[in-house]
Amino acid sequence: MYNRRILRPAFAICVLVSQWSCTYVSNGEKASTESSSLEEEDVPKESKSINVILMIGDGMGLTQITAGWIAKRDALNLERCPVIGLSKTNSSSNLITDSAAGATAFSTGKKTYNGAIGVNPDTVAQPTILEIAEKNGIATGLVATSSITHATPASFIAHQPSRLLDEAIAADFLKTDIDVFIGGGKKFFELRTDHANLLTQLKEKGYAIANGVEEIGLVKTGKLAGFIADEQPLRFSEGRGAILTTASLKALELLDQNDKGFFLMIEGSQIDWGGHANDSQYIIDEMIDFDNAVGQVLDFAAKDGNTLVIITADHETGGYGINAADDDGTIVGGFTTDYHTATMVPVFAYGPGAEAFAGMYHNTEIFHKMLAAFSIRLPVNSAPKQVEIQ
């Protein structure tokens, strides 16, 4: 049961959101100024190739990171990043974003409504950084510990009015030339209501279809569609193993074979699910698994010297607090909600251009900063519009 002390801020947020929705509408942001086509983005790269790796810990607020550090009883790999910023996560429709709007902000530079996958508030498809990268000859990849059609990875490759449309999102993978994707959700490609077999179509496009880590490990070159579950992958605590790290390393191995650089998004999907479950141990297991992948990615970047790594979250989940911890690292956690919160989330950056990620800014800026790292310019009329809370 919620007590009055919780209800009051909840009421305040409702008022804030409703006022803000009106403000958004009255600002009159129209599709006409936002519906830039993919062709318009097709500006040649100006400098030597660079790799950009965006790592998203879904629901990874500062407390989730702190819990991981306490439980690990050692420094996190995240701490190797010399630059830290803060990201304001609100969506166009809500003070509290969901993962679809949060990832679409990163992938398109546009604030949109909760549930939107790669579309603006008018449901008009927006070019994603993955598509823009492809147009510029940059190799692309997605890795997740959820279904690959889940909101976060989907927002980089698909354009759908709702995150619930897994089969339509899967079909959108065929409309791109993504080089590598590894995650769950095989059934949305194979056992579909329209009876299409997208795995066959992927094979015809030249993809190796690999099921499970062993098969994924055998693919040494070319395009890869790797599946680690029919629907959602197991929790780490249920025996998922170090799939996130091995999948990330496989993606790096394949993408690094492209001379023009690559864009790779890696998601630790289930930190969020631990927050929804109000389960400290679930959060910690997923947080440390994600941080282990961070360590391997930073090792790659350190060795490569021309790789920018950005590590952030779409939002915080759970209103998580640490009230105490035992000497063995066991956390006594508290939660204010089983949903997301509006609190800002940290942005960590490492590598060439990392300093651009210092400061406090909207989540949409991460898109523009990544494009700048690639030396890709957008048309003037698609300059970002900030959606501030009034």
Give the footprint of Zn ion on this chain (CB under 5 A).
Answer: 272
Does 155 sit near Mg ion (CB under 5 A)? no
Question: 69 or 273: whose CB is closer to Zn ion?
Answer: 273
Q: In a 10 Å sphere around its CB, with 0-12 CB exposed, 13-18 middle and 19+ buried, how is residue 242 labelled?
A: middle
How many angstroms separate the Cα of 329 from the Cα of each of 67, 70, 241, 272, 324? 9, 6, 21, 21, 10
269 contacts which partner out of Zn ion, Mg ion, none, CB within 5 to 8 A by kind? Mg ion
Question: 166 or 272: whose CB is closer to Zn ion?
Answer: 272
| Widest Cα–Cα separation across the chain | 60
Backbone angles phi, psi at 322, to 5 degrees: -105, 115
Residue selected from 58, 166, 285, 316 as contacting Mg ion according to rule CB under 5 A: 58
Does 97 sit near Mg ion (CB under 5 A)? no
Q: How far is the CB of 276 from Mg ion (least distance, A)?
A: 11
Q: How far apart are CA 390 and CA 388, in angstroms?
A: 6
Q: How far is the CB of 292 from Zn ion (least distance, A)?
A: 22
Q: How far apart are CA 51 and CA 133, in angstroms?
A: 11
Does 285 sit near Mg ion (CB under 5 A)? no
Q: Applying CB under 5 A, what is the total number of residues that bind Mg ion?
A: 4
Question: 78 or 271: whose CB is closer to Mg ion?
Answer: 271
Q: Give the tokens for residue 278.
A: 């109000």
Question: 196 or 277: whose CB is closer to Zn ion?
Answer: 277
Question: 99 or 364: whose CB is closer to Mg ion?
Answer: 99
Does 99 sit near Mg ion (CB under 5 A)? yes
Say which DSSP state 355 is in.
G
Q: How far apart are CA 77 and CA 143, in angstroms?
A: 19
Stretch of 55-63, 72-80, 194-202, 222-230 contacting Mg ion, by CB under 5 A: 55-63
89 contacts which partner out of Mg ion, Zn ion, none, CB within 5 to 8 A by kind? none
364 contacts which partner out of Zn ion, Mg ion, none, CB within 5 to 8 A by kind? none
Q: Compose the 238-267 pattern: x for residues touching Mg ion by CB under 5 A, - for all others.
A: ------------------------------
Q: How far is the CB of 329 from Zn ion (least distance, A)?
A: 25
Residue selected from 155, 269, 312, 317 as contacting Mg ion according to rule CB under 5 A: 269
Locate tokens 């803060």: which residue?
86
Catalytic site residue from 91, 93, 99, 147:
99
Q: How far is the CB of 285 from Zn ion (least distance, A)?
A: 17
DSSP string, 79-134: GG-SEEEEEE---SS-SS--HHHHHHHHHHS----TT-BSB-TT--B---HHHHHH
152 contacts which partner out of Zn ion, Mg ion, none, CB within 5 to 8 A by kind? Mg ion
292 contacts which partner out of Zn ion, Mg ion, none, CB within 5 to 8 A by kind? none
Does 152 sit near Mg ion (CB under 5 A)? yes
Tally of CB atoms within 10 A around 195: 6
Q: How far apart are CA 321 and CA 62, in angstroms?
A: 9
Catalytic residue status for 99: yes
Tally of CB atoms within 10 A around 258: 15
Is 140:133 a contact under the CB 8 Å cutoff?
yes
Active site residues: 99
Q: Which residues bind Mg ion (CB under 5 A)?
A: 58, 99, 152, 269
